[in-house]
Amino acid sequence: MKRLAAALVLTTLGGCTVIPGAHIPSGQSSWYEGKNDQSSVDLQEQVNIYAITPRLLSEQKTQPIRQPVFNEALEASLRDYDYEVNRGDILNITVWDHPELTIPQGSDRSPSDAGNWVHNDGTIFYPYVGRVEVAGLKVTEIRDILRERLAEYIPNPQVDVTVASFRSKRVYVTGEVKQPGTQPVTNVPLTLLEAVTRAGGLTELADWTSVTLTRGGETTEFSLRELLQRGDTRENILLRPNDIVHVARNDAAKVFVLGEVVDPQSINFGRSDLTLADALADTGGFAQATADASGVFVVRKAKEGSDKIADVYQLNARNATALVLADQFKLQPRDIVYVTAAPIARWNRLIAQILPTAQAVYFFGQAEDELTN
């Protein structure tokens, strides 16, 4: 009985090494202590460790900021754009001073009802002229053909051709937009940004850093954030018929707040940056009875090509003014924010684990004494 009690005492005294649950030691020096502990050596070799200080934040701010970029290729595409008629379109053809050649419109007839439909074979029929191949032609080219052929019957005909209804070409906008669906390609050039705007804009769940364009079996990713916030017009493009624009969800763009906070949870990124202070506030702040304010960590996957597995940033918020640093430290998607437990909290948890066993041993000993006596 005495030996068992002694064993319990020794276990309690060595409790810091057997406490259940995750724990990150607070204090920069703690990472480098215990050289004889193989796990400490491995951790030191596999991660980069940084203290969140004014100097670190200053170094991050000195990184070059992307300036607005003028997209010359897009501007050239817009200048050269001209709609080509195709099957299903409806043309409105007018020959001035010859109303008999113009299909009349009225209050009960829209321009599309009164126009000339481009048939499946790519032709239209027009009086005197007959069948005219128009698929793949611009309205100016169609106008010249009609004027040339009508000149055999009408002296110096004045012909105007417009598209009354655009039905042959379309783009598809899917994903996290308010009004997904098809949008017609018209004589007004349609860009990626305009297509998203016409679809009602982004939903609350949209990831505006991941907008994909699928064209001819190839997919390209664009960032509306770079376009709207930083003016990088290279993230915009002139759309073509049958393009598919897809706005992804932001499910993966989140951070995880764990440890000694009031409400541990994952937090999705919105349309603005998310700071360490935002993450702590959204989870209710520190658990006052158990948290170690000096041990606030941000664990981030190391950059591609690095020989480390993670970058770990530590904030010592024991002084409340240090939370100003937390408000300036920007988080990245998939960051893990961890608030470690205070030593007394870990000690209490150890006692809570041992106490039921100790009580059982005590009562068993009392019962054995009573039986012996």
Q: At 369, is the pLDDT very low, low, confident or very high (cuts 50, 70, 90)?
A: low
User: Same domain for 263 and 320?
Assistant: yes
- Which pLDDT score is estimated for 38? 47
Q: At 37, is the pLDDT very low, low, confident or very high (cuts 50, 70, 90)?
A: very low
Question: Which domain-ending residue is among 104, 135, 165?
Answer: 165
User: Same domain for 176 and 227?
Assistant: yes
User: Same domain for 263 and 231?
Assistant: no
Rounded mean pLDDT, 44-72: 80
Instruction: Write out pLDDT tens, residues 207-266.
Output: 888 899 999 999 999 999 889 888 889 999 999 999 999 999 988 888 999 999 999 999
Neighbours of 281 (CB within 10 A): 14
CB contact at 8 A, 220 and 255? no
Instruction: Write out pLDDT tens, residues 98-153.
Output: 877 776 554 455 666 668 899 999 999 998 889 999 999 999 999 999 999 999 99
Neighbouring residues of 56: CB distance < 8 A, sequence distance ≥ 6: 50, 313
Gap between the Cα atoms of 180 and 79, Å rounded:
28
Nearest to 94 by CA among 130, 127, 64: 127
User: Same domain for 290 and 326?
Assistant: yes
- Provide the domain count of the chain: 3
- Which pLDDT score is estimated for 277? 93
What CA–CA distances, in Å, run from 24 to 133, 212, 261? 75, 39, 14
User: Same domain for 107 and 46?
Assistant: no
On whether residue 337 sits in a domain, the answer given is: yes
Angle of the 2-13 helix axis to the 343-372 helix axis, nearest 10 = 180
Gap between the Cα atoms of 162 and 138, Å rounded:
10
Radius of gyration, alpha carbons of the chain: 36
Say whether pLDDT at 344 is over 90: no
Instruction: Write out pLDDT tens, residues 7-32.
Output: 544 454 444 445 555 556 665 445 44
Gap between the Cα atoms of 89 and 267, Å rounded:
48
| Structural domain that includes position 233 | 171-249
On whether residue 78 sits in a domain, the answer given is: no
- Which pLDDT score is estimated for 228? 87
- Which pLDDT score is estimated for 41? 46
Mean of all residue pLDDT scores within the chain: 82
What CA–CA distances, in Å, run from 326 to 212, 296, 321? 33, 10, 10
On whether residue 341 sits in a domain, the answer given is: yes
Q: What backbone torsions phi and psi does residue 111 show, to the nearest 5 degrees? A: -55, -35
User: Same domain for 192 and 139?
Assistant: no
CB contact at 8 A, 134 and 157? no
- Which pLDDT score is estimated for 104? 57
Nearest to 55 by CA among 329, 292, 262: 329
Instruction: Please state whether the predicted TM-score (pTM) of the whole model is above 0.85.
Output: no
Residue 242, domain CATH: 3.10.560.10
User: Same domain for 203 and 277?
Assistant: no
On whether residue 81 sits in a domain, the answer given is: no
Q: Name 259's bridge partners.
A: 339
Rounded mean pLDDT, 58-84: 83
- Which pLDDT score is estimated for 46? 83
On whether residue 233 sits in a domain, the answer given is: yes
Percent of the chain residues topping a pLDDT of 70: 75
CB contact at 8 A, 260 and 292? yes
Tokens of 155: 């002296």
Residue 271 gets which letter from DSSP? S
On whether residue 49 sits in a domain, the answer given is: yes
On whether residue 74 sits in a domain, the answer given is: no
